[in-house]
Amino acid sequence: MKDASFPWVDRAGEPVACAEKVKVLRENDAELRQALQDAFEDGVLMGVTPASMRATFEDMLSSLIDPTQEGRS
């Protein structure tokens, strides 16, 4: 697992150290974790297997589009 204090790295492989960027990234992380946990619990409580829920989330993550690569082949 990545270093919890600096889990985000830039394209040069260096930790993102700008305080404002780190603040936004931490806020986004907390919001996404809560939304994923809520969706996971909903699915499991409705009878979906935990493995199936995780696979769905992994599929979502793998289909995210890098905005810096849009339109490039």
pLDDT tens digit sequence for 1-29: 445 566 899 999 999 989 999 999 999 99
Higher pLDDT, 58 or 71: 58
Query: In the prediction, which pLDDT does 1 show?
Result: 42
Q: Say how far apart CA 45 and CA 63 lie, in whole Å.
A: 26
Q: What do you get for the CA distance between the two ends of the chain, in Å?
A: 32
Tell me the one-letter amino acid at 54: R
- Six-digit token pair at 60? 């979502």
**For position 7, what pLDDT does the model report?**
85
H or E element that contains 12: none
For 33-49, the pLDDT digits (tens) are 999 999 999 999 999 99
Question: What's the CA gap between 67 and 44, in Å, rounded?
Answer: 32
pTM: 0.77
